[in-house]
Amino acid sequence: MACGFRRSIACQLSRVLDLPPENLIKSISAVPISRKELKVADFQLSVDSLLGNNDYSRPDIQVQATQLAEKLKCDTVVTEISTGQGTVNFKINRELLTKTVLKQVIEDGSKYGLKSELFSGLPQKKIVVEFSSPNVAKKFHVGHLRSTIIGNFIANLKEALGHQVTRINYLGDWGMQFGLLGTGFQLFGYEEKLQSNPLQHLFEVYVQVNKEAAEDKSVAKSAHDFFQRLELGDMQALALWQKFRDLSVEEYIRIYKRLGVHFDEYSGESFYREKSQEVLKLLDSKGLLQKTIKGTAVVDLSGNGDPSSVCTVMRSDGTSLYATRDLAAAIDRMDKYNFDTMIYVTDKGQKRHFQQVFQMLQIMGYDWAKRCQHVPFGVVQGMRTRRGDVTFLEDVLNEIRLRMLQNMASIKTTKELENPQETAERVGLAALIIQDFRGSLLSDYQFSWDRVFQSRGDTGVFLQYTHARLHSLEETFGCGYLDDYNTACLQEPQSVSILQHLLRFDEVLYRSSQDLQPRHIVSYLLTLSHLAAVAHRTLPIKQSPPEVAGARLHLFRAVRSVLANGMKLLGITPVCRM
């Protein structure tokens, strides 16, 4: 594996540079594959990274690289040492490279890349990830979908690295909408519809009562009164609210299961309606709470009356707001989980909200506020189903399945499948996730169903197709060849390119773990799939001598294993037939 080669290079460098090998390992990187040319070196050392500069054009850097290269010697691991622009390059013994990489991929299985020295000494942490967080009775909009798949990726990655992760879905299950919903259900609700399709029916009631409240002041007053009854703990009002919530959570669990997403806790704003009053008392006792002329309560985060730094924490009627409940939730989670890091995954429109929440925690005396992190993402435009704008997550999943089934039916190579609906959904979800994860999470993008479902090019469909095709190779030839192979048979450029690319997997995982961006893994897997497609065309197994066939099959098996590992981290379930 790459870390073994890195350590070998680092040990030789340490003798010359008089530095501990541990200080050098992260400066030695696997050279990325270029599709245009076969790379000469497998690893490179950036001379500037040792000096803490980034100016590769400086003549003295080039001189230092040359001088360093002259002091190094080839050995049983490194067969060639050269210099590039500000770098010292190392070529690994080809047979050793082949044998080591294939052995490591198969032995480490799902842990390949995660056992790397890049992660050594990584302390195991308690991490809370809050994501998805839809509002009961309101649209499950595309922002919630992005939060769901991004949060799931972050939680998967942290878990894979050995951290103790708690996944929280913080539902919008409190607030004035429940006053409207309670009144609306008494006016237009049907128990049978609520039981059979709670999310749909509550949404319909919510839309209808909003319309009525805008035209009829008595309906608006009734809604306000219902919410006040909720806030005061009226048993009848709370029983109806609890029913709405329980049925909605049940439905969410069913739908998230289709997405391959689970949560350890379904929390919500309702949990903190009482604790938020304690937060207000605490703010007041610290002299941070200021009353306005309107009767609301605010916290001045600037300390000098700057209106842009004022955060409202209480309404004029004494009830709490979203920010107050978020403060109460953060304090409660620290008591409950004693987390090292808490990550909130929401759209970038909430950036200021979280800055204010973290700042308020800090001035309240909670030093752990610096352990809280907001991972923001951009806006998706143009996601419409054939029925119109997306209202529910289930609409998206049904649309994905329907479109993918139609695509599969039109492709001649589609295999007979035991469960075509499930396969279509898994391939469709891969397509959706890859489109979403290809760029920076902060970027806005225009959604296109046509682009999502392209089978060629850099798409999720192509990833799933590659995985299924490689699995089919193993099924067809596996038993006869997997025990009989000679790594010396894998010296063709196509084989070497794949092996060199497999070397880099740990670096890609490390990069994603640092900035929580899935695009590094996506780009890596797409390149791996393209390399596998070329190798599949040019390195046949059928009619090749047994040791050649066995070696190639081992190579393809390693590709499929790493492809599956990466896909699972992204939240994609690999398919074996399509």
Contact of 529 with 457, CB cutoff 8 Å: no
Residue from 91, 139, 144, 158 carrying the catalytic annotation: 144
The SS3 call for residue 13 is helix
- The DSSP 8-state label assigned to residue 552 in this structure reads H
Q: Is 353 a catalytic residue?
A: no
Report the sign of the C-alpha dihedral through residues 150, 151, 157, 158, in that order.
positive
Contact of 297 with 276, CB cutoff 8 Å: no
Contact of 526 with 463, CB cutoff 8 Å: yes
- CA 404 – CA 407 distance, rounded (Å): 5
Find the Cα–Cα–Cα–Cα dihedral 450, 451, 457, 460, rounded to 10°: -100
Contact of 69 with 88, CB cutoff 8 Å: yes
Contact of 527 with 497, CB cutoff 8 Å: no
Extract the runs of DSSP E, i.e. beta strands, from 398-466: 445-446
Residue from 26, 115, 126, 138 carrying the catalytic annotation: 138
Q: Is 163 a catalytic residue?
A: no
Query: For the chain, how are helix, strand and coil distributed in percent, rounded to 5?
Result: 60, 15, 30
Contact of 548 with 436, CB cutoff 8 Å: no
Residue of 81, 56, 57 whose CA lies nearest to 70: 81
Contact of 185 with 240, CB cutoff 8 Å: yes
Q: Is 139 a catalytic residue?
A: no
Q: Are strands 341-347 and 126-130 parallel, antiparallel or unpaired?
A: parallel
The SS3 call for residue 104 is helix
Contact of 20 with 14, CB cutoff 8 Å: yes
- CA 231 – CA 225 distance, rounded (Å): 10
Residue from 91, 139, 141, 554 carrying the catalytic annotation: 141
Positions annotated as catalytic residues are 138, 141, 144
